[in-house]
């Protein structure tokens, strides 16, 4: 008789496990979430269990992006099937198209970015509840408890968080009467224990009552009262009506692999699919361009022009706007589009039209469990620390996601992205996103889990992480640390790039007519399978922590 003994071995913090062993891995944006997610996996939880626990921990320890006051997307590969959960924020019922315009029809600066009117209805708690209902294996309360403990007992503040919060408090003070960030986070000190009793209370409600602990009852009343007192729009009815939605992920073949990625209301999956496919069609067939050379950056900037022209015109919430997903990623369309690429010079920006007919913050984590299931989860309150508004009595930061709508056609949002009718504000609508949690499958097995923060540069970070693995054979740490670059049609002929890009390449591109702008990029978190083994890596410049967990081989008796 055969019986299987599952014994868990030590948690390894080196990125390679011995061949033949079963492995799991996490790549997380901070060490608290890495510890909790790693322990859940080690104790027999699956990737979704670890993701839920990590999401709540990040709401406590990474307040600039981790959240219960925001939203996100979770991409799941489980038991050989893919599932995509949209827990994006939604415009409240009282929102309307012109809510950010003055009486002359001009956009009121900052109104969609700071203060009480910047927030959509949060989706995170519903998202985690739905994910647990469909895919979780451990009791809900056990997954929320680590976050309750960290909020109630406190944690030692990492130096980068203390620095960021202090400077943000100075920056945001006085932006809008409702901004109260400084009172909650203005005095953080590196190394000092920071407790959040109001947040702990809110998390206890979620632990005990699930999604109802946030969207109904005491917390919902606190949110609605706070909104009324500060002339905000979100009501108890809005909260009770919020639903996270299961959607079909974007799935497309690329080379001998399958790219699985975020569907609308994210623009990310469509954009990455277009970017990879056009790259293949436009690159010299004999051999790839040299990595991060002038020719490589120019080719991918040319693709980016087309990708972002389509994004501005065709993409929005699919419940409100008929997004032509299949046409945008079809081989015929992408082939025609790639034919417009000029490898010798910069295409004239205004003439690049949509093709069919016509500190930035967010955070990401990647998880693979011992059974080969994977979660790729990107979550956000939009810009760092969201709207700068903490719900008093509930202790959490509200998002400023309304800025991801197009306030007015032709006027760029905080990420420089343009939009039109497809992404205008409407009650109950979800704002277009660039969040791109992605999984690359080969022969049905996870080859890569990737994702990043960074507004519109999320898309760039993800497709470049894929090329860095597949085209250039990099290991996980090289993938996240190699300099990235971004072009999105507007501002005209501008390439943003990460420090470390060769200065001769910068000069070469300037010589072609590009404006070169050094910029920070998102904190990539990747897990890859190379030579049959998992590797996990977090960008060296960030607060991230990653690890591979080795389990004993299955013992056969």
The stretch near ligand GLY (CB under 6 A) out of 238-246, 349-357, 427-435, 546-554 is 427-435
- Closer residue to ligand GLY, CB minimum distance, 82 or 433: 433
Which residues, other chains included, contact 6 with Cβ-Cβ below 8 Å and sequence gap of 6+?
Answer: 44, 551, 554
Residues contacting ligand GLY: total by CB under 6 A: 9
Q: What is the chain's length?
A: 557
Question: What would the two tokens of residue 446 be?
Answer: 């996870």
The Cα 244–Cα 377 span in angstroms is: 14
Residue 488's closest CA among 284, 309, 277, 356? 309
Q: For residue 386, state whether it binds ligand GLY (rule: CB under 6 A).
A: no
Rounded to 5 degrees, what angle do the CA atoms 99, 102, 104 make? Answer: 130
The Cα 249–Cα 544 span in angstroms is: 27
Residue 534 beta carbon to ligand GLY: minimum distance, rounded to whole angstroms: 28
One of 404, 493, 523, 533 touching ligand GLY (CB under 6 A): 404
Catalytic residue among 61, 202, 219, 362: 362
Residue 142 beta carbon to ligand GLY: minimum distance, rounded to whole angstroms: 30
- Closer residue to ligand GLY, CB minimum distance, 100 or 333: 100
Is 235 known to be catalytic? no
- Closer residue to ligand GLY, CB minimum distance, 288 or 416: 416
Q: For residue 362, state whether it binds ligand GLY (rule: CB under 6 A).
A: yes
The stretch near ligand GLY (CB under 6 A) out of 106-114, 234-242, 367-375, 430-438 is 430-438
Peptide bond into 272 cis (omega under 30): no
Residue 453 beta carbon to ligand GLY: minimum distance, rounded to whole angstroms: 8
- Closer residue to ligand GLY, CB minimum distance, 53 or 383: 383
Residue 257 beta carbon to ligand GLY: minimum distance, rounded to whole angstroms: 25
Residue 404 beta carbon to ligand GLY: minimum distance, rounded to whole angstroms: 5
Question: What would the two tokens of residue 241 be?
Answer: 């009506």
- Closer residue to ligand GLY, CB minimum distance, 426 or 442: 426
Residue 95 beta carbon to ligand GLY: minimum distance, rounded to whole angstroms: 17
Q: What are the C-alpha distances in Å from 232 to residues 88, 180, 402, 432?
A: 19, 14, 13, 22
Q: For residue 498, state whether it binds ligand GLY (rule: CB under 6 A).
A: no
For 283-320, letters b (16+ CB in 10 Å) and e give: beeeebbeebbbebbbbbbbbbbbbbbbbbbbbbbbeb
Phi, psi of 161 (to 5 degrees): -70, -45
- Closer residue to ligand GLY, CB minimum distance, 435 or 548: 435
Helices 457-470 and 294-314 meet at what angle, rounded to 10?
A: 130
Residue 382 beta carbon to ligand GLY: minimum distance, rounded to whole angstroms: 4
Q: For residue 423, state whether it binds ligand GLY (rule: CB under 6 A).
A: no
Interface positions, 95-114, toward ligand GLY (CB under 6 A): none
Q: Which residues pair with 143 in a beta bridge?
A: none
Residue 195 beta carbon to ligand GLY: minimum distance, rounded to whole angstroms: 28
The stretch near ligand GLY (CB under 6 A) out of 60-68, 98-106, 342-350, 431-439 is 431-439
- Closer residue to ligand GLY, CB minimum distance, 264 or 372: 264
The stretch near ligand GLY (CB under 6 A) out of 6-14, 18-26, 433-441, 481-489 is 433-441
Residue tagged 């209805």 (tokens) = 121
The stretch near ligand GLY (CB under 6 A) out of 116-124, 143-151, 429-437, 504-512 is 429-437
Q: For residue 434, state whether it binds ligand GLY (rule: CB under 6 A).
A: yes
Q: What is the layout of strands, in order, in the sheet containing 494-497?
A: 485-486, 494-497, 515-518
Per-residue HEC secondary structure of 516-548 comes to: EEECCCCCCEEEEEECCEEEEEECCCCCCEEEE
Phi, psi of 70 (to 5 degrees): -130, -140
Query: Which residue sits closest to ligand GLY, CB atoms considered?
Result: 433
One of 37, 435, 505, 534 touching ligand GLY (CB under 6 A): 435
The Cα 314–Cα 240 span in angstroms is: 30
Q: For residue 433, state whether it binds ligand GLY (rule: CB under 6 A).
A: yes
Question: What would the two tokens of residue 157 be?
Answer: 């503040």
Neighbours of 412 (CB within 10 A): 17
- Closer residue to ligand GLY, CB minimum distance, 49 or 424: 424
Q: For residue 455, state whether it binds ligand GLY (rule: CB under 6 A).
A: yes
The Cα 189–Cα 185 span in angstroms is: 10
The Cα 225–Cα 219 span in angstroms is: 10
Residue 71 beta carbon to ligand GLY: minimum distance, rounded to whole angstroms: 8
The Cα 68–Cα 381 span in angstroms is: 9
Q: Give me the active site residues, please.
A: 362
**Rule CB under 6 A: which residues touch ligand GLY?**
362, 380, 382, 401, 404, 433-435, 455
């Amino acid at each position: 008789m055969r019986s299987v003994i599952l014994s868990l071995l030590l948690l390894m913090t080196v990125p390679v496990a011995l061949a033949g062993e079963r492995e799991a891995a996490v790549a997380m944006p901070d060490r608290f979430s890495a510890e909790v997610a790693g322990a859940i996996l080690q104790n027999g939880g699956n990737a979704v269990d670890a993701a839920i626990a990590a999401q709540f921990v990040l709401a406590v320890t990474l307040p600039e992006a981790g959240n219960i006051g925001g939203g996100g997307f979770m991409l799941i590969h489980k038991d050989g099937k893919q599932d995509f959960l949209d827990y994006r924020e939604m415009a409240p019922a009282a929102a309307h198209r012109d809510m950010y315009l003055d009486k002359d029809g001009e956009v009121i600066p900052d109104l969609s970015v700071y203060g009480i009117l910047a927030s959509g209805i949060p989706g995170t708690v519903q998202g985690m509840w739905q994910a647990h209902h469909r895919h979780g294996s451990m009791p809900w309360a056990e997954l929320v408890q680590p976050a309750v403990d960290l909020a109630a007992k406190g944690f030692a503040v990492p130096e980068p968080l203390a620095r960021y919060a202090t400077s943000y408090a100075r920056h945001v003070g006085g932006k809008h009467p409702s901004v109260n960030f400084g009172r909650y986070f203005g005095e953080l000190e590196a190394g000092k224990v920071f407790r959040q009793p109001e947040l702990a209370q809110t998390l206890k409600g979620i632990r005990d009552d699930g999604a109802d602990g946030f969207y109904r009852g005491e917390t919902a009343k606190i949110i609605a009262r706070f909104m009324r007192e500060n002339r905000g729009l979100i009501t108890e009815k809005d909260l009770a009506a919020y639903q996270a939605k299961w959607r079909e992920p974007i799935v497309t073949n690329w080379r001998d692999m399958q790219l699985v990625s975020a569907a609308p209301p994210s623009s990310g999956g469509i954009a990455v699919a277009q970017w990879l496919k056009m790259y293949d069609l436009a690159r010299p067939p004999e051999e790839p361009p040299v990595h991060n050379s002038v020719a490589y950056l120019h080719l991918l900037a040319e693709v980016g022009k087309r990708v972002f022209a389509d994004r501005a015109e065709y993409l929005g919430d699919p419940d409100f706007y008929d997004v032509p997903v299949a046409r945008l990623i079809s081989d015929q369309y992408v082939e025609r589009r790639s034919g417009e690429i000029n490898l010798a010079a910069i295409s004239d920006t205004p003439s690049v039209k949509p093709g069919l007919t016509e500190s930035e913050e967010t955070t990401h984590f990647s998880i693979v469990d011992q059974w080969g299931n994977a979660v790729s989860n990107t979550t956000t309150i939009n810009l760092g620390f969201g709207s700068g508004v903490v719900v008093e009595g509930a202790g959490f930061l509200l998002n400023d996601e309304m800025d991801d709508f197009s306030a007015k056609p032709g006027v760029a949002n905080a990420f420089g992205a343009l939009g039109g009718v497809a992404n205008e504000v409407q009650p109950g609508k979800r704002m277009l996103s660039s969040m791109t949690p992605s999984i690359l499958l080969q022969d049905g097995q996870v080859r890569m889990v990737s994702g990043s923060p960074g507004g519109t540069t999320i898309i760039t970070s993800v497709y470049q992480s894929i090329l860095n693995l597949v085209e250039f054979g990099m290991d996980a740490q090289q993938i996240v640390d190699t300099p990235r670059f971004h072009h999105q049609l507007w501002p005209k002929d501008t390439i943003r790039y990460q420090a470390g890009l060769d200065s001769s390449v910068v000069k070469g591109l300037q010589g072609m007519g590009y404006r070169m702008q050094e910029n920070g990029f998102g904190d990539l978190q990747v897990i890859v399978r190379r030579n049959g083994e998992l590797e996990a890596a977090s960008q060296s410049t960030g607060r991230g922590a990653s690890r591979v967990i080795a389990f004993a081989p299955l013992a056969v008796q």
